[in-house]
Amino acid sequence: MKIIDSIKSFDKDTLRFVQKNLRGENVSAVLSSVTRLGDLGVAWLIPAGIMLTDKKYRRRGTELLVCFGVCVALNNLVLKNFADRTRPFEAISNLDVLVKKPRDYSFPSGHAAGAFAAAYAIARGYGKRLGIPAYALASAISLTRVGVGVHYPSDVAIGAGAGTLISAATLKGFRALKRRSR
């Protein structure tokens, strides 16, 4: 329990620090804009849709969609409801939220999970050339969730890990099914 208490304390202290020291008019606008890229998976679904229109990239576009979809379903419908963690703005008084307050549970972050699931699929399909920018975008989207006040840092860290693991397992299963169907 001592570790959990330490994590909770770190989470709250970090959110208070961010609100007090890292926000300003320009920074808040950037945080809000970047976090919106993760809303409904826009940053990942648009490229996947474009990939689906070209036969050369269709398989990778399908893999991206499947990884993202499986991750969002498992994370947001199973893991969040199992963990049942309240949002930071419900637990920390005077915490300003820069975006519309989500109504679901906080842990693990769905934005982080989906972003890292997509980044993993992109990196596996395209290597460093597109993997590095995908992970950079996934990291930016994930970190903004703390900046806008809707997630604890541990929500984001575990969401990123969960997204990566779910994507890896999904890709492995997806490719195994494809081999069997040949």
- Here the CATH number for the domain that contains residue 57 is 1.10.606.20
Mean pLDDT over 18-24 rounds to: 86
Mean pLDDT (the chain) is 93
Residue with tokens 């099914």: 177
> Dihedral of CA 40/44/47/50: which sign?
negative
Specify the 3-state DSSP secondary structure of 39: helix
The answer to whether 31 and 144 have CB atoms below 8 angstroms apart is yes
* Alpha carbons 159 and 111: distance in angstroms, whole number: 8
At 176 the pLDDT is 86
At 139 the pLDDT is 98
Structure token pair of residue 13? 């202290």
**pLDDT of 43-81, one tens digit each?**
999 989 999 999 999 999 999 999 999 999 999 999 999
**pLDDT of 97-121, one tens digit each?**
999 999 999 999 999 999 999 999 9
* Band (135; pLDDT cuts 50, 70, 90): very high
Mean pLDDT over 79-90 rounds to: 94
Q: Show the domain range for 79.
A: 2-180
Collect all residues with Cβ–Cβ distance below 8 Å to 59 and sequence separation of at least 6. Answer: none
Q: How many domains does the chain have?
A: 1
At 3 the pLDDT is 86
Residue 41 is classified by DSSP as G
pTM metric for this prediction: 0.93
Which has the minimum average pLDDT: 139-143, 155-159, 171-175?
171-175
At 169 the pLDDT is 97
